[in-house]
């Protein structure tokens, strides 16, 4: 069953992006004989506002148990045409984020809508981002300190077990803050955050990962005596999204990775100035050590 608030959101996005006659046409794409006036219970000569047309269509479609079909149509109308007119759906990302919270996801590659609790970490686009579109995204680069020495001391097989458990441990923290793993290759990886409040969420996630690492290190199932230590760094900015995240070219990704590897001490977290200036004061004050890295101001937790 579709939540009432989601029906209201669907009404709003229709009313805000389509004229009354266009909403009628959308209805006919699902039901050839759809009539908005009949659906709204008003006479044909009465002019209806886009909001009234949208509400009538959503209620009619929902009563017909075709709401998912309407949602799919709205998403696919973005960057498409209707009656020869180019259509851009304003507010689509926000709408799709709300869909995702109701476990409704759209796969842009397969052009399919899923109404299920898929593993969120497998959906690197949050079920909302579209290839070749640019979004505000925060990137966290994470790396295990002293990987080569650990492998040399314990051997590849043992360290692979440790890193597998570490990834599972970190994944849960990332999911808690609505992040996505874009790349994770043994001793480190890249994690992305987007949508509302993504900058403070990403920094809180990094702080929680570091703070909880001491708990991970005392787990009895770890076959090593050395503590695992991490370096983490974050930058934020506009990134053109691709489902093949390993091939995204971005200054934001490059800076976060370089800052983590060459500008962050073991066990510490570094953030760019772009990240810090958008943090609430309570979080920002944790990053008091100011530095310059690659000609960009950055801060660390020292």
Domain ranges for the chain: 4-118, 134-300
User: pTM (2 decimals)?
Assistant: 0.80
pLDDT for position 111: 85
Instruction: Identify the H or E element spanning 168.
Output: helix 156-176
Buried b (16+ CB within 10 A) or exposed e, 262-287: ebbeeebbbbbebbbebbeeebbeeb
pLDDT for position 100: 80
Give the SS3 label for residue 133. Answer: coil
Residue in this structure with the two tokens 């953030």, named with its chain if needed: 271
Taking the C-alpha atoms of residue 273 and residue 299, their distance in angstroms, rounded to an integer, is 7
Q: For residue 46, how many C-alpha atoms fall within 13 Å in the half-sphere facing its CB?
A: 12
CATH architecture of structural domain 134-300 = 2-Layer Sandwich (3.30)
Taking the C-alpha atoms of residue 239 and residue 252, their distance in angstroms, rounded to an integer, is 7
pLDDT for position 115: 75
The dihedral through the CA atoms of 239, 202, 142, 125 has a sign that is negative
Q: Give per-10-residue mean pLDDT for the chain (302 aa).
A: 88 96 95 94 93 96 94 93 91 85 82 72 82 95 95 93 91 93 88 95 98 95 95 98 93 97 97 97 95 96 82
What the block records as the tokens of 229 is: 């230590």
pLDDT for position 80: 92
- Under DSSP, the state recorded for 228 is P
pLDDT for position 1: 62
pLDDT for position 208: 97
């Amino acid at each position: 069953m579709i939540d009432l608030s989601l029906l209201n959101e669907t009404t709003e996005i229709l009313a805000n992006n389509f004229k009354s006659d266009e909403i009628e046409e959308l209805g006919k794409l699902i039901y050839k004989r759809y009539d908005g006036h009949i659906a709204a219970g008003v006479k044909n000569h009465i002019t209806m506002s886009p909001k009234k047309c949208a509400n009538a269509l959503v209620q009619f479609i929902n009563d017909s148990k075709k709401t998912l079909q309407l949602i799919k149509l709205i998403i696919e109308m973005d960057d498409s045409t209707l009656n020869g007119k180019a259509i851009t759906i304003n507010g689509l990302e926000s709408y799709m984020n709300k869909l995702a919270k109701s476990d409704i996801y759209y796969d842009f590659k397969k052009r399919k809508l899923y109404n299920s609790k898929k593993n969120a970490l497998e959906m690197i686009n949050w079920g909302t981002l579209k290839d070749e579109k640019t979004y505000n995204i925060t990137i966290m680069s994470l790396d295990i300190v002293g990987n080569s020495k650990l492998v040399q001391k314990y051997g590849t097989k043992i360290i692979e077990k440790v890193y597998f458990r570490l990834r599972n441990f970190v994944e849960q923290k990332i999911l808690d803050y609505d992040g996505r793993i874009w790349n994770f290759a043994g001793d480190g990886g890249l994690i992305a955050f987007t949508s509302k409040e993504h900058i403070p969420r990403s920094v809180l996630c990094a702080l929680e990962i570091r703070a909880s690492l001491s708990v991970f290190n005392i787990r009895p199932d770890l076959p090593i005596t050395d503590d695992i230590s991490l370096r983490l760094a974050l930058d934020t900015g506009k990134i053109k999204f691709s489902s093949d995240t390993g091939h995204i070219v971005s200054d934001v990704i490059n800076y976060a990775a370089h800052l983590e590897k060459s500008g962050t001490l073991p066990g510490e977290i570094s953030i760019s100035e772009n990240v810090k200036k958008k943090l609430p004061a309570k979080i920002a004050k944790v990053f008091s050590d100011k530095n310059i890295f690659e000609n960009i101001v950055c801060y660390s937790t020292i």
